[in-house]
């Protein structure tokens, strides 16, 4: 039985300009100790997918229209507030993308860091502070005994991100959702944080959902990858297959966009055009307007995710027909 099983998740935002289909039929399973990478351009639905699982979609205008997300037998989308409070912050933790807006500027780091321990565990404040110091040291914050009493504004952006990572890991969760966790960190610290996440996976069998734009990090950290575009999964595969047997034109375009893989002295490749307006109905493939392989059929028929083999699925009509 998977640690987390998400089926047909649909999260829409009801605005004055129309219904914005941010997540439109996303499904995946996550096993214990496994790392699932979710990649795609900004606005593809990666973060909204995970906010939906955590119950963090603002309602209104957001609404989870359908689907299920079963975590260890509990449907996160339909559980009681009491069940949600018992799971969130203890068994499931999340590292948010922007630490400046995620940390309370009026509270010391110490109080925010140990809050999950004080809520979920039978522990004294002295013991919680000790665990907090260990957590800060584990993410590379020196002089932790002094800095634990700082306010958020006294830390740099990278240091605040390390605090958020320490806060997410302090309860040793069964599932960690990491939304661009290493964006503000230099390469050395990034490697240290990724190694820490791997270590905790080995120790407690923690499952990880890793949201990122960095395909290099995905290739080194993740077991499986889901590529999202316009609120849908367009390709899903184990990491080796995704990078060595890429199928969907959008995934290929993302890989071509990696600067380090491009020839020096030549103009950097960018994907032409813009993602579609998700508040308007789409007649065919959402990537058709930007795809060099698109035909009239692509612009009128809606492709569905189709299995290539047991570990690899994609949603391109021309690949399914064997034309490319």
Domains and CATH numbers, the chain: 4-91+175-276 (3.40.50.300), 101-172 (no CATH)
Q: Is 47 helix (H, G, I), strand (E, B) or coil?
A: helix
Mean pLDDT of 36-42: 94
Mean pLDDT of 42-59: 92
Mean pLDDT of 105-111: 92
Summarised one tens digit per residue, pLDDT across range 158-194 is 788 888 888 998 988 999 999 988 776 778 878 877 8
Asked if 76 contacts 87 with a C-beta cutoff of 8 angstroms, the reply is yes
Does 262 have pLDDT greater than 70? no
Q: How high is the pLDDT of residue 74?
A: 92
Q: How high is the pLDDT of residue 141?
A: 86
Q: Look at residues 62, 95, 235, 53 and name the one whose alpha carbon lies nearest to residue 179.
A: 95
Positions of E strands within the chain:
4-15, 18-30, 35-39, 62-71, 74-75, 92-95, 175-179, 207-212, 224-229, 232-238, 306-309, 312-314
Percent of the chain at pLDDT > 90 equals 52
Torsion angle of alpha carbons 31, 33, 36, 37, nearest 10°? 180
**Whole-angstrom distance, CA of residue 245 vs CA of residue 227:** 14
Q: How high is the pLDDT of residue 38?
A: 97
Positions of E strands within 164-299:
175-179, 207-212, 224-229, 232-238
Around 183, how many Cα atoms within 13 Å sit in the side-chain half-sphere? 15
Q: How high is the pLDDT of residue 261?
A: 65
**This model's pTM is above 0.85:** yes
């Amino acid at each position: 039985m998977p640690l987390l099983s998400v089926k047909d998740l649909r999260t829409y935002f009801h605005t004055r300009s129309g219904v914005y289909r941010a997540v439109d039929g996303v499904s995946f399973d996550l096993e214990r100790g496994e790392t699932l990478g979710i990649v795609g351009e900004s606005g593809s639905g990666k973060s909204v997918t995970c906010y939906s699982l955590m119950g963090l979609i603002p309602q209104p205008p957001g609404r989870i229209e359908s689907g299920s997300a079963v975590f260890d037998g509990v449907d996160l989308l339909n559980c009681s507030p009491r069940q949600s409070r018992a799971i969130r912050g203890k068994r499931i933790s999340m590292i948010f993308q922007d630490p400046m807006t995620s940390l309370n500027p009026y509270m010391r780091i110490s109080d925010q860091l140990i809050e999950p321990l004080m809520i979920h565990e039978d522990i004294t404040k002295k013991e919680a502070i000790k665990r907090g110091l260990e957590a800060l040291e584990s993410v590379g914050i020196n002089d932790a005994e002094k800095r634990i009493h700082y306010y958020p504004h006294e830390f740099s952006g990278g240091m605040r991100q390390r605090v958020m990572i320490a806060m997410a890991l302090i309860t040793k969760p069964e599932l960690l959702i990491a939304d661009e966790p290493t964006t503000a960190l230099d390469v050395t610290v990034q490697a240290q944080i990724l190694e820490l996440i791997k270590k905790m996976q080995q120790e407690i069998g923690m499952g990880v959902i890793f949201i990122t734009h960095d395909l290099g990090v995905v290739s080194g950290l993740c077991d499986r990858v889901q590529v999202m575009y316009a609120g849908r999964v367009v390709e899903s595969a184990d990491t080796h297959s995704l990078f060595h047997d890429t199928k969907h034109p959008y995934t290929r375009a993302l890989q071509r966009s990696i600067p380090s893989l491009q020839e020096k002295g030549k103009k950097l490749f960018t994907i032409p055009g813009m993602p579609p307006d998700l508040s308007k109905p789409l007649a065919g493939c959402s990537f058709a307007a930007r795809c060099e392989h698109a035909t009239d059929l692509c612009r009128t028929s809606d492709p569905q995710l189709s299995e290539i083999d047991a570990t690899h699925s994609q949603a391109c009509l021309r690949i399914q027909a064997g034309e490319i």
